[in-house]
Amino acid sequence: MRVIFQTANIVTLITVLFSLCLLPHSVNAADIQVETAVERQEVFVGESFTMQIRVEGADSPAEPDTSQLTDFTVRPMGGQSNSSTMVSNTNGSWQQITHHGYIFNYSLTPKKSGELIIPAIHVTVDGRNYSTRPVTIHARKPQETAEFKVRMSLSKETCYVGEPVILTTTWYVGKNVKNFEFNLPVLSEPGFDATPLAADNQDTLEVPVGTHTVPATKGKEKLDGEEFLTVTFQHHLVPLQEGSFTLPQTTVSCQALTGYRQSRSNRPFGGMGNDVFEDFFSSGRRAVYQTFVTPSNQPTLTVLPLPAENKPPFFSGLVGTYAIQAKASPTQVNIGDPITLTVTVEGSSLKHIQLPDLSRFLHPESFKIPEEMAAGEIADGGKTYTQTIRVKNSRVTEIPPIALTYFDIEEKRYTTARTPPIPLQVSTTRIVTALDAEGLDAATGKKKIQAVIEGINHNYEEIEGNALYIKQQSPVMLWLSLILPPGLFFLVYGASFMVRRRKGNGAERKIRNAYPLLKKELSSASLSGEQINRALQNYLAAKTGKTAGTITFSDVITALDNGCTDPSLQDELKKIMEECETMRYAGGVDTPANSAHVTKRLFDLASRLEGQI
């Protein structure tokens, strides 16, 4: 009986699913509707609240345009689908009802007090525009209380454009609070650039400020004769334009414990609501929290323009006090060897420090500098840049000083800090390879690729209690089954053999044509070191099967050992490769006379190598 019951359930389930699949159409929402919903319509200035834009009848609308909400700070909080599907059965008739919807979430913070309007917001669905209805928000002016106070202070009241000033924000707390959030409008002011500073105390916490958190220090202080718990954090505030500025108010919204009330629940044991444990442990008392929004004072900052007199042409834009230092490794190199140059700048505002243009100090005829400059890393009170440079001729004896020009606020004048010169010893004995020139690791090209060949694993399964029957085939099918497999095998084998032979012939033709191609490439009257080096690389690539552009003498020495026993021939090839690379990277060496001399020697060398590689 149990087998029959389970089978009946399965049949019923299959019937339901099959009926759903056969539904001719789903019942969908007929129209597209959009609306704006807000968490509450009475808030304080600086207090955040949630706004939703709900779309009914579509599950993939375009992101709404909220640029018209100029009276609010708008933070997108993501969105989610609001679609659902329901199946009903009426008198044996199955019907599927589908609801399509989507919700966009935002956090809004009023910038000023009064009656503020959330205007009609446009939403695009399938190319058509829909609009919400306007919503009125009553924003009240926040008030300071005896329990909560906020103070902002500046390290100085007068500064220059670009000079970092320390902004300190302190919240004085006199009650138990939860769910607090800071709102600092100055962080989004276009005339300032702000960077949070690390907390200098072990008793720290991360406090929410807008969409980010900043490190803050907890402490205790007295204000107006009363003792408070304090939360303090700092920003480097860099003014970007001159003028007199009154900083906008900072606000802190929080929920503060204001007392307890007796729980009046008619449910046995407090029921099963969310406050069941609170009712039990508080002996029937429930905590009462109230929202407080506290405003700060508004300090004033006067920003002076930088003096135009004696302003250097390569002024970095930095204002404050700065120092620069450099080191290089190695300092004993050959032409083309990579040198790691490390430049560290220390000063007032590390965020705005940029590496000076090295081409102003390292002459292009003496040094090779990459086009892409490295990004700086801030650590240990400085910003460090690491760059690879290369010496291009043996006359270089040092890395020249690197200069950084800034405006010294103590001296009230433009000052230049310089690194001391770094002595170098440069020689021309080493072969500069193409791998070196590109800055690649030579070991990378020497890795061997190992192929792992795995066999085919056959799986067998025995079937017990069954007989195996062979159906008798007709004579024609029997012959086809015997002849067709070997015929296909020989056909595939023959095609593979022809492909391999064609490839082999192509490689042989490439080897035979290497010398004529070299003579053609060197036939021009005047060639540069780059052109001669490229022709040599193409010739050796064809002879050895290597990739042109990365071949070194060590790459072809094996091929020479196999077919060439003349040491002088090997020495000559090594010298020519060295001279080609030197003309390519060393300034003042790539002259027409040198090029003609190397070209003639390369012709003689190639004619002697023919038939030996």
Tens of pLDDT along 450-492?
Answer: 433 344 344 433 433 333 333 445 566 666 666 777 777 777 7
Q: 10 vs 326, which has greater pLDDT?
A: 326
The count of C-alpha atoms lying within 13 angstroms of the C-alpha of 163, restricted to the half-sphere facing its C-beta, is 23
- Strands 319-320, 403-408: pairing kind: parallel
Burial letters for 48-61: b for 16+ Cβ neighbours within 10 Å, e otherwise? bbebbbbbbbbeeb
Q: Reply yes or no on whether the pLDDT at 342 is more than 80.
A: yes
pLDDT over threshold 60, residue 398: yes
- Higher-confidence residue: 562 or 41? 41
Whole-angstrom Cα distance, residue 372 to residue 395?
A: 26
Least confident of 150-159, 171-180, 295-304: 171-180
pLDDT confidence of residue 446 = 39
What mean pLDDT do residues 294-304 have?
A: 95
pLDDT at 439 over 70: no
* Torsion angle of the four alpha carbons 56, 57, 58, 62, in this order, in degrees rounded to the nearest 10: -50
Give the list of residues 6+ apart from residue 223 with CB closer than 8 angstroms, or none: 149, 151, 172
Distance CA 606, CA 447 (A): 29
Taking phi over 0 as left and psi of -120 to 50 as alpha, with beta for the rest, 203 belongs to beta
Res 17 pLDDT > 50: no
Measured CA to CA, the distance from residue 174 to residue 420 in angstroms comes to 56
Q: Does residue 329 have a pLDDT over 90? A: yes
- Please give the average per-residue pLDDT across 293-300, as a whole number: 95
pLDDT higher than threshold 90 for residue 304: yes
pLDDT for 453 equals 38
**Least confident span in 42-56, 67-81, 530-544:** 530-544
Place of tokens 């138990």: 176
The stretch 214-224 carries a mean pLDDT of 92
State yes or no: pLDDT of 248 exceeds 80. yes
CB 350 within 8 Å of CB 383:
yes
DSSP string across 71-109:
TEEEEEEEEEE--EEEEEEETTEEEEEEE-EEEEEEEEE
Give the up-direction half-sphere exposure of residue 70: CA atoms within 13 A in the CB hemisphere.
1
Q: Is the pLDDT of residue 198 over 60?
A: yes
Task: Write the pLDDT tens digit of every residue in 144-173.
Answer: 999 999 999 999 999 999 999 999 999 999
Average pLDDT, the chain: 78
Instruction: Name the band, by pLDDT with cuts 50, 70 and 90, for residue 12.
Output: very low
pLDDT (mean) for 76-104 = 83
pLDDT in tens, 506-542: 566 677 777 888 778 877 767 777 788 788 888 888 7
> Three-state SS for 390?
strand
Q: Output the CA angle 444-445-446, nearest 5 degrees.
A: 95
The rounded percent of the chain whose pLDDT value lies above 90 is 35
Residue 292, token pair as written in the block:
């407080």
| Cα–Cα distance for residue pair 112/205, rounded to 1 Å | 29
Mean pLDDT of 197-201: 78
Identify the pLDDT of residue 503: 54
CA dist 30 and 36 (Å) reads 20
pLDDT of residue 456: 37
**Range name among 93-107, 225-239, 243-257, 287-301 with the lowest pLDDT average:** 93-107
What the block records as the tokens of 279 is 């009712």
The rounded distance, in Å, linking the Cα atoms of 317 and 405 is 8
Q: With left for phi above 0 and alpha for psi between -120 and 50, is residue 46 left, alpha or beta?
A: left
pLDDT by residue (tens digit) across 584-608? 655 555 677 777 888 888 878 787 7
Lowest mean per-residue pLDDT among 225-234, 243-252, 535-544: 535-544
pLDDT over 90 (residue 352): no
pLDDT of 30 strictly over 90: no
Q: Which two tokens stand for residue 245?
A: 């500025």
Tally of residues, the chain: 613
Q: Is the pLDDT of residue 266 over 70?
A: no
| CA angle centred on 308, ends 304 and 310, rounded to 5° | 130
Q: CA angle 588-593-597, nearest 5°?
A: 115
What values do phi and psi take at 246, rounded to 5?
-100, 115
Return the pLDDT at 348.
Answer: 79
pTM strictly above 0.85: no
- Res. 390 pLDDT band, cuts 50 70 90: very high
Task: Single out the residue of 349, 346, 357 nearest to residue 323, CA to CA.
Answer: 346
